Structure formats: C-alpha cells, structure tokens
Amino acid sequence: MKKYFITGLLIWIPLSITFMVLAWIVGTLDQIIEWLPDGLQPRNLLGFDIPGAGLVLGLVILLSTGLVAANVIGQKLVRYWEALLARIPVVKSLYYGVKQVSDTLFSSSGQAFRKALLVQYPRQGSWTIAFLTGKPGGDAATHLKGEHVSVYVPTTPNPTSGFFLMMAREDVIELDMSVDEALKYIISMGVVAPPAHVAPARSALLNE
C-alpha cells in the first residue's frame, strides 16, 4: 500500500505544481486585459471573461513591438525613447542596468548561461554546478592574475538566487550537459541526475 501511495504522489505532485504555476502565469498575464478600454474588454463585449486572453494579448504586444523595432523607423523610435529616458536620473540608471543584463542574457550572440560548469565551491574538494556568464571586466579584471571567467553558482532548490564568482580558467570544468539538464539537477537537489555523456577533451568556449 505504501508503495502505491508513494508512486501516486510522484505522479501527482509534479503535475499539480506544473498546473499551479501555469495557472499563476496565465492569471497574472490576464491582468493585461485591464489595460484595454472598458468597451473592448471581453467581460463587457461577451458578458464573461476569457481565461488566457491576457496571455494572447501579451504575445501580440511582444510580436508587434519586435516587428516595429526591427525596421529602420522602429529603430529610430527606440533610440529616441532611450534618449528621452537617459535624461531622467533614476530611471536612466535602472533602465540601462536592466537593459544591459537582458541584452547579455537573451542575445543570440552572447554566451551567458549557455554552458554548465563544474567548480569547487565553497571550498576545495567540494564540487557544485555553475553557469558561465562571461569574463571579468572593469577594474576587477586588472587585479586578477592569469585568465579568469565569470560564473554564477545557483542555490538549490531555488536557482534564481546564488553567488557571482570570478574563477581561474584552469579551475573550471565545462560539462557536457545542457543548461536545462543542469537546472533540473540543481532544482531536484541532485535527485534527478542527467544522463552520462562522453566528456569533451577541453572546452572550446572556455579556450576562446
């Protein structure tokens, strides 16, 4: 009986959490509908709310923004908008800080969070999973001897918090593991181990 009970839990707990997270995301995005004038909101047009309408509207807004910003006129509008924000002291610091991080993370040419690493942390002989975020820059780089890389060491089971470290390149081992596999490994606290792969001879990315 205990075996069947645990088996049922292992099936329903992931499903329940998945549906709860999806319901929260859809419910949050549905708040976008409130941006519309009262006459255009589904509850006033049809007499009832449409679950997921905010999600669809959000996707339309994102795609439309990307389409407009991809052409010459849109790029000029973006530059004008950014120049306007640059004149507002507090907004300037916040906007450009967030923009720099988002450009680094989501740029197709960037390497941030595209490689899983094995590093010794918090002490020698104790190993954990980390992610490559780039190379040290600014004045910090001038004080480091030899070649170093910037890494992010996430906490478990919540990988959104963690530690930023600058480590010697020779102390970092690149794993033949996708970022998704590494995240699952971290979130599960090591319970869900990724499949074994043949280890690469040496990281091409780290040797760039």
Write out the two tokens for 45.
Answer: 């047009």
At 48-81, the pLDDT tens digits run 777 778 878 888 888 888 888 778 787 888 888 8
Q: What is the per-residue pLDDT for 106?
A: 63
Alpha carbons 117 and 174: distance in angstroms, whole number: 5
Q: Rounded to whole angstroms, what are the CA distances from 189 to 114, 125, 156?
A: 21, 18, 6
Q: What is residue 164's three-state secondary structure?
A: strand
Q: Kindly report whether the global pTM for this prediction surpasses the value 0.75.
A: no
Q: What is the per-residue pLDDT for 109?
A: 55
